[in-house]
Amino acid sequence: GEALEICQHRGIRAREGQTWLGLGLALEALNDFDKASVAYSQTQTIQQEVGNKAGSLEARAGLARCLLANGNTNEAQKEVETYLAEAKSQGIAGAKYPIRLYLTAYWVLLAANKKEEAIAILQQGHTFLQKRLDNIEDAELRRLFKEKSPENKEFWTQLELHTDKDAGG
């Protein structure tokens, strides 16, 4: 709250948008999805205002997760489809949490009974994550990148789960 006040008082809109995103993530982690939705909506508004397209994508993903958590799968799917279309046209460069974008789309599409689309998103995320992994020369750092980041670890788990299921029938 104090960080938001400082950003608002000083008129630092770009930093305010990032602070709202952080607040949304914190509230989401506390399972306060209604308040998280408000924070993500504020993020969305500010990120669009300042032209931060990646931040806008992340706000939509946050909204989608909150909608899904509240049982609004259709609305969550609309948010995901919107940000996937935007990501396809403009890319995701600058996203602070790019793997979360892929995981969110995957979770929502699975919940919407769109398994093939969900797995396709995992494959796109795999390509993205593998490029990042390939740029890490040190074997120990590659292992840490893959295993210690909770989002990356979750991503690899879901990818392996579907790879194993699809290979086994």
**Average pLDDT for residues 151-164, to the nearest whole number?**
85
Give the C-alpha separation, 117 to 35, whole Å.
Answer: 30
* More confident of the two residues 148 and 66: 66
Q: Is the pLDDT of residue 168 over 50?
A: no
Give the C-alpha separation, 165 to 169, whole Å.
Answer: 6
Q: What is the dihedral of CA 88, 94, 98, 100, to 10 degrees?
A: -110
pLDDT band at 146 (very low <50, low <70, confident <90, very high): confident
**Average pLDDT for residues 118-134, to the nearest whole number?**
92
Give the C-alpha separation, 82 to 58, whole Å.
Answer: 12
pLDDT band at 35 (very low <50, low <70, confident <90, very high): very high
Q: Is the pLDDT of residue 23 over 70?
A: yes
